[in-house]
Structure 1
Amino acid sequence: MDNPLARKLSHFTRLWASDEAALDVLSRQRVRQVNARHDLIREGDRPEHVNLILSGWACRYKTLEDGRRQIIAILLPGDFCDLNIFILRAMDHSMAAITPVTHAEVSREVLEEVMLKQPRITQALWWDSLVTAAIQREWNVSLGQRTALERVGHILCELFVRLRMVGLTNGNSCEFPITQVDLADATGLSAVHLNRTLQELRAGDLIVLRDRLLTIRDLRALQMLSLFNPNYLHLDAEGQQYGANES
């Protein structure tokens, strides 16, 4: 199962071969490449399709009139960019490539046809939408209540677990191409404060972050320090135990 979308959705629902084939069809819809630091879509644009990230990292963000930016979500391979975007007349936020990104542009018609014919995929996408909302809630908690150390440790844990879901980790390591500026914009910290916090995590022998590679030396210890509970990612989703047509 090399398709990152299929890998992720299989955590929510047991997929059949026909489901995996349908997801491969989605992943081949108008495949496009975007260079790093370029927008996939801008605030105010009219959305015409759903973007599915196939490779690379992207983000959702908002920019204030004075140029300050808040990253409100990090998008990884296997992630849809706003599944229900078709109801919008205009985007209320922007999406940009953090690294070079390959993505599929999935039309409403193709997506609706797959969901109609493949109920397991529909069930899995419901789960995925719930997890997306849960991640947003957890980020809100981090911005409002967690300390800087907890905040940074928490997002490192989350991104590592999400990458592991789609088979993009190697033991306790994963590629980590996001810059410190991006990470600061995602955690609501200044670049200086973010750098100091990463140094503290390094000094505690919890992480090694070098040459775009993150190694978590002790995931359990980092989770405890960061107050990270992966329950909001619903890795033990009930849907994994049965197919959508089964009781």
Structure 2
Amino acid sequence: MDNPLVRKLQRFARLSSEDRQALNEAARLNVRRIGSREDIIREGESPDQVNLILSGWACRYKQLEDGRRQIIAFFLPGDLCDTHVFVMREMDHSIGTLSAVTVAEINRDALTAITELHPRITQALWWEMLVATAVQREWTVNIGQRTATERLGHLFCELFLRMRAVDLTDGNSCELPVTQVDLADALGLSNVHVNRVLQELRANGLLTLRGRQLTIPDLAALKAASLFNPNYLHLDHVGRHLDANED
């Protein structure tokens, strides 16, 4: 069975069986299990491999000296935690788990060999990086311009669609192993404000949260309420069009 990175990259390029095999093999070489609420790598440390999330959720974050934290990105299954992070001498941010995760550590030589031997994987990784940058832009807009209700609804739409892109949704539901504090740290809101907005979204029938499960009864309605346009996620297989006539 293909790992979630393969399922994700196939949205950006038409991968051959050899491409998929190379990615699957790389993801099986150095796998480790990390518990919930632990750091995968800390700010100031020297990175020497790319971390691929195979299962579970993690985040990129910055922490101020007084303990305040800003979550800058959520990493879901299939996400690479910075494709070329090993070019940095030291980390300028930390990556921590939000739930127990399984991580494949792909070293520099293995990744370089894959990109040299498999041009379509290279193309797909470029698309993946461009989408990651687009997500960061959208998060900036979210914090800078959207209301609290729009911010939270927008984030839920994004996370649901990203999970669906790697076949990890069940109908209109998906896993959501984050706390209200995590949501507050990602959206620039207080925990109390997040709680109030969640109650409002529930009362309006736009979502339900039970344990670690998010359900969106009417995705179109939540998109409309959140001013959500999924174009920045490029889920329409734009990258695949580039080589549609090859083979």
TM-score w.r.t. length of structure 2: 0.97
Offset of residue 173 of structure 1: 0.5
SS of the residue corresponding to residue 28 of structure 1 reads: helix
Q: Does residue 174 in structure 1 map to residue 183 in structure 2?
A: no
**2:123 counterpart residue number:** 123
How far does residue 29 in structure 1 lie from its aligned partner after superposition? 2.6
* Alignment root-mean-square deviation, CA: 1.3
Give distance in 1, aligned partners of 2:113 and 2:148.
45
1:241 positional shift: 2.7
Q: CA deviation at 1:3?
A: 1.2
Q: Show the counterpart of 2:184.
A: 184
Q: Is the 8 A contact 1:180 1:191 kept in 2?
A: yes
Where does structure 2 lack aligned partners over 5 or more consecutive residues? none
- Distance, in Å, in 1 between the alignment partners of 2:244 and 2:30 is 28
Query: Is this contact kept in 2: 1:14–1:242, CA < 8 A?
Result: no
Instruction: Answer yes or no: is the 8 Å Cα contact 1:49–1:106 preserved in 2.
Output: yes
Q: Is the 8 A contact 1:120 1:244 kept in 2?
A: no
Distance of aligned partners of 1:245 and 1:60 in 2 relative to their CA distance in 1, 3 Å threshold: farther
State the alpha-carbon separation in 2 of the partners of residues 32 and 40 from structure 1: 10
With 132-141 and 14-23 compared, the bigger mean Cα shift is at 14-23
Partner of 1:49: 49
Letter matched to residue 24 of structure 1: N
User: Against the structure 1 CA distance between its residues 43 and 124, is the aligned structure 2 distance closer, same or farther, given a 3 Å change threshold?
Assistant: same
Higher mean C-alpha displacement, 196-205 vs 236-245: 236-245
Counterpart mapping for 1:15-164 below 5 A: 15-164=15-164
Cα offset, 1:15, TM superposition:
1.2
* Alpha-carbon distance in structure 2 between the residues aligned to 1:143 and 1:25: 39
Return the alpha-carbon distance in structure 2 between the equivalents of residues 131 and 221 of structure 1. 24
Amino acid at match of 2:20: E
Q: Secondary structure at the match of 1:81?
A: coil
Structure 1 runs of 4+ with >2 Å offset: 241-247
Pair 1:23–1:243, CA change in 2 (3 A): farther
Structure 1 stretches lacking a partner, 5+ long: none
Q: Which amino acid aligns with 1:191?
A: N
The CA deviation string for residues 171-205 of structure 1, in whole angstroms up to 9 with x for no partner, is 10111111111111111110000010010000000
Residue aligned with 1:11, SS? coil
Q: In structure 2, give the amino acid aligned to 1:142.
A: N
Letter in 2 for 1:230: P
Percent identity between the aligned chains? 62
Tell me if structure 2 keeps the 8 A contact 1:119–1:244. Answer: no
2: CA distance, partners of 1:52 / 1:62: 20
CA contact (8 A) 2:40 2:95 kept: yes
2:4, 2:55 → 1: CA distance? 9
Tell me the secondary structure at the aligned position of residue 205 of structure 2. Answer: coil
Q: CA deviation at 1:245?
A: 9.2
The alignment covers a number of residue pairs equal to 247
